[in-house]
Amino acid sequence: QLVESGGGLVKPGGSLRLSCAASGFTFTNAWMSWVRQAPGKGLEWVGRIKSKNDGGATDYAAPVKGRFTISRDDSKNTLYLQMNSLKIEDTALYYCSTLNAIPIPDYWGQGTLVTVSS
């Protein structure tokens, strides 16, 4: 199970930190992604963090690179997304997921809504 939190209303240029609490699977071994969905739009991959065993590296989509940072606390089974310099176009429902293309389960949270507006 994945449960996101931390969403809300923020002004352009502001910051927000999202959290994703994981349970029911071995979080330590999981590569975790954030995926967002703007209102009425499709899915957009935001970024991913590898497991620490696999080096813990992060990758980001071009629109958020340099503004967003993904981190993880394996002791708390929690994934984070630090969002800085927020823009109106960052308004979306943000999902955390074990997003993968291999034969292991693919989990998604219910999402947390981020609204960037003045």
**What mask, x for binding another protein by CB under 8 A, covers residues 68 to 107?**
---------------------------x-x-xxxxx-xx-
β-pair type (32-37, 43-49): antiparallel
Q: Token pair of 115, please?
A: 């609204």
| Smallest separation, CB 41 to another protein (Å) | 8
By the 10 Å C-beta count (0-12 exposed, 13-18 middle, 19+ buried), 15 is classed as exposed
β-pair type (8-10, 16-22): unpaired
**What mask, x for binding another protein by CB under 8 A, covers residues 38 to 57?**
----xxxx-xx---------
| Smallest separation, CB 15 to another protein (Å) | 23
Query: Number of helices and strands (H, E) in the chain?
Result: 0, 10
Interface positions with another protein (CB under 8 A): 33, 35, 42-45, 47-48, 59-62, 95, 97, 99-103, 105-106, 108-111
